[in-house]
A and B are shown apart, each in its own frame.
Chain A
Amino acid sequence: MLERAAKARTQMSGLEAAAVCMLLVITLVAAAAPYLVPADPVLKIGEPYQPPSLSYLFGTDEIGRDMLARMIYGVRLTWLPSLVIIAVGVSVGTVVGVAGAVAGGVIDLLLARLTDLFIVIPSTMIALAAVAALGPGIWHTVTAMSVFWWPWYARIVRSEVKAVSGRPHAEAARLSGVRGPRLVIRYLLPAALPTVLVTATLDVANVILVLSLFSFLGLGAPAPAPELGAMTARSLASLTTHWWIPILPAVAIFVLVVTANLAGDGLRSLMKAV
């Protein structure tokens, strides 16, 4: 076992390991944002348009609010909802995938077609329309995205569970009288989970980008919530005169996405090795 763990470490590149660590730090910072920020992200703390300096590390925005505080909260408002959307997608997809694979027959066919339907419809566009109709709000966005984020997970889980259920250990469990939820939880699902988790890790980057798109279009949390996409969108006119206001939140999105992608690659390497 120790040998396998050591092998896994050697298979995860240094960059990927750093990304995993960075992701942990980001999660901690997002969770503890209220205790970490140097100032209230909504309060005017200085003159507007102050460039980055020792007084204001990331400068101040067009209202005179601290950009560092707003970006820490911005990461929180992007990262935590991304995790929620992925968690909902994985949960719903797992339930649908397992139900289809275990039940088989007409139920499997119906669930598979339902999954296909959700995959082929332009989900992001429909989610955008739904949020526009419900009104901007972070929970409206999370709900609308979660509704469309499960089908790929359902498909993966279904095929993995189907493949696993024909293997000897599953056959043996059945012959020894194991049925229903116990069979699924103890013998089928554990084999499918690694693939799902790796997919989910890589998928976080997509969710971050879509969430940022919603926020960029003004469909995220109501202003003046410090959402990264919205911060960039609202201050584009300042690009040539006060570059740090639109650029820094965009850089934060970039860093989040790249880190999530690298960390996903790292976890995949780890899973393969283990």
Chain B
Amino acid sequence: MSVRQLLAAMVILATALCAPASAETVLRVAYSDDVATFDPDDAIILFGLDVSRVLYEGLVQYKPGTTEIVGWLAQSWSISPDGRTYRFTLRDGVTFHDGRKMTSADVLAYFRRRKSPSLPLSYFLDGVKEMSAPDPRTFVITLTAPQPAFLDRLASPWAPKVIGPGALVDHEGGDLGVGWLNEHADGTGPFKLVEMVRGQRYVLVRNPDYWGAQPYFDKIEILIVPSINQQMLMLERGELDIVEHGYPFDQLGKLPPGLKVDAHDALGLEMAYFNRTKALRDPAVRKAVITAINPAGWLTDVFGPFATPARSLYPKVMINGLEPVTYPTDFAAARRTIAEAGPVTIEIGYADQEGPVQQRIAEFMVSLLKQIGVTATVRTIPLVEEFSLVNNLARAPDIFIAQNYPDAVHPATQTGVFFETGAALNFFGYSNPKVDALSAEAGQITSIPERDKDYLAISDILFADGAFIPLADIKDVIVYRTGLVDLNTRPALPWAVDYGTIRRE
């Protein structure tokens, strides 16, 4: 080999060694907000569900693109004839990220942790009487009473997902491992969390010991980029592969070359909550206001083809086959009602998680309300304030609009979270014994048509009362670079693709 050849070989070798890891094996995604925690028991998160589900896995999950429940860590399961006992046969050969083998004892220890009242998501296991691990591959849950929605709760994006003893024993720390899990993870999923710099980025790497099919990507980088404009630019320049949420609907029709849209039906339901203690105390005024805010007046302008008028207070993925809700349409009558009621001034609050879209809806409503003589203003409601609205209805807005996500596909998870007396997201404290009784009755019915009949009766009562107003079923929209395939989105999993299956063509 001549000196020249040797030098050339050295240059090639040096170039190869110094080159960054191939971008082909790294998936780059942006979140608009930091994730509170990936601890599956400690917080309801929206951004981060896709990371959470490749770090941790539950017993069951929804099959991609459907609402069908399939096994995950549970290979199979059976339900006793009285509907109270669930017996799960666990998958063999599953290991935690620290290399320990998963057994039913680990699953039991984890579920006991999940049931701790100090953890905010412990309510998923309400009604669980006892749990046991009779052999290393069997886990049994016994309920105090049948819960037809129980399996859906276990398939929810916020469902219990098994955390390993590396966190729950080695780093228990007197706080059930909550502190350690704020910045670490010990699950069974196809990726491991290797870096978490709050406000900047999270890095996941492929778990070589994963029990299932190996993911295509070696590494996933999640960047925290608060501005959607910046995310759009980064996507266009190839610095990001996916914008999972927040791409402006009005720009989806003219995407730059090299980008594609995945729009799928989801559980997101746009809903208006009425505060019936102030300007909207009078049912006639409420009816006039409902006439004005009819989504027919703004839906296409705001969402284009990515939303349809709501069919009930349950997303169409949950209860399908209905006609859109019928709104009163007599604007002249609405104007007369407001004229008789005297000056009506209201405030519309909107959830800040969906800021630009919600503000646009609110401003359309202001314009339409003005046509019937109602003066309205608009303000954003920060997430922390949403949960305290019920404590001070006098200072709360008259209408609150938000895109809502129930826990799972079963309608009981919508009723229980939003409509029942004292429900966590019943923002204005609506209470109706008839609704509560119907909900309790429907929650025990296993026949889907019979069950849905009760839930639709609840929807009708709430709409007629002017307490909750169904507005629109909104598609989940994901914008990504062409060449990515097998995104495997799920209707019940908001703002998320499956990092375990996504790959480049």
| Residues of A that sit less than 8 Å from B by CB | 40, 42-44, 48-49, 62-65, 135-136, 218, 222-225, 234, 236-239, 241
User: Do A223 and B251 contact each other (CB < 8 Å), given the known contacts A43-B371, A136-B379?
Assistant: no
A-B contact pairs, 18 of them (CB 8 A): A62-B360, A63-B363, A64-B301, A65-B367, A218-B380, A222-B378, A223-B366, A223-B377, A224-B366, A224-B367, A234-B356, A237-B229, A237-B248, A237-B356, A238-B250, A239-B229, A241-B251, A241-B254
CB distance from B388 to the nearest CB of A (A): 15
- Determine the residue in chain A with the shortest Cβ distance to B256: A240
CB-contacts of B368-400 with A (<8 A): 368, 370-371, 377-380
Per the bound structure, the CA–CA distance linking A117 and B431 in Å amounts to 53
- Taken together as a complex, chains A and B put the C-alpha atoms of A238 and B380 apart, in Å, by 20
- Neighbouring B residues of A222 by C-beta, 8 Å: 347, 377-379
Contact between A223 and B379, CB atoms less than 8 A apart: yes
Residues of A within 8 A of B367 (CB): 42-44, 63-65, 224
User: 13 additional contacts, CB 8 Å, given A44-B367, A241-B254?
Assistant: A43-B370, A44-B364, A48-B250, A64-B301, A135-B379, A222-B347, A223-B359, A223-B363, A224-B367, A234-B356, A237-B251, A237-B356, A239-B229
* Known A-B contacts A44-B367, A64-B301; A224 and B360 likewise in contact (beta carbons under 8 Å): no
| Of the residues A63, A136, A239, A241, contact of B364 by C-beta under 8 Å | A63
| Interface of chain B: mostly helix, strand, loop or mixed | helix
Q: How far, in whole Å, are A42 and B360 apart by their CA atoms in the complex?
A: 13
Interface membership of chain B positions 349-367, coded 1 if the CB is closer than 8 angstroms to chain A and 0 otherwise = 0000000100110111011
B interface residues, how many (CB within 8 angstroms): 24
* Nearest Cβ on chain B to A216's Cβ, whole angstroms: 14
Q: B370 near A63 (CB under 8 angstroms)?
A: no
How many whole Å from A237's CB to the nearest CB in chain B?
5
Q: Is B69 an interface residue (CB 8 A)?
A: no
Q: Does B461 contact A (CB under 8 A)?
A: no
A136 to B381 CA separation, bound complex (whole angstroms)? 12
**CA of A222 to CA of B232 in the docked complex: distance in angstroms?**
28
Bound-state CA distance A7–B183 (Å) is 74
B229 touching A223 by the CB < 8 A rule? no
Which of B228, B301, B368, B371 neighbours the largest number of chain A CB atoms within 10 Å of its CB?
Answer: B301
Across-interface contacts of B363 in A (CB, < 8 A): 63, 223-224
In the assembled complex, the CB of A239 is this many whole angstroms from the nearest CB of chain B, namely 8
A224 — which chain B residues lie within 8 A by C-beta? 363, 366-367, 377-378
Q: By the criterion CB–CB under 8 Å, are A62 and B377 in contact?
A: no
Asked if B301 and A48 make an inter-chain contact with CB atoms under 8 angstroms apart, the answer reads yes
Q: How far does the alpha carbon of A234 sit from the alpha carbon of B370 in the complex, in Å?
A: 21
Cβ of A239: which chain B residues have Cβ within 8 Å of it?
A: 229
Question: Which one of B250, B356, B377, B380 lies within 8 Å of A49 (CB-CB)?
Answer: B250
The 6 closest A-B pairs by CB, nearest first: A222-B377, A223-B378, A44-B367, A224-B363, A63-B363, A224-B366
> Which residue of B250, B362, B371 contacts A223 across the interface (Cβ within 8 Å)?
B362
Bound Cα distance A265, B90 (Å): 82
B395 to chain A, nearest CB (A): 9
Cα A49 to Cα B368 with chains together (Å): 18
Q: Which residues of B contact A48 (CB under 8 A)?
A: 250, 301
Complex Cα–Cα for A234 and B229 (A): 12
- Give A221 Cβ to nearest chain B Cβ, in Å: 8
Return chain B residues, CB-CB under 8 Å to A238: 250
Q: How far is the CA of A224 from the CA of B378 in the complex (A)?
A: 6
Q: In the complex, A135→B360 CA distance in Å?
A: 20
- In angstroms, Cα B360 to Cα A239, docked, is 16
A215 to chain B: closest CB distance in Å?
14
A242 to chain B: closest CB distance in Å?
Answer: 8
Is B360 touching A236 in the complex (CB atoms < 8 A)? no
- Residues of chain A lying within 8 A (CB to CB) of residue B251: 237, 241
Residues of A contacting B250 in the complex (Cβ-Cβ under 8 angstroms): 48-49, 62, 238, 241
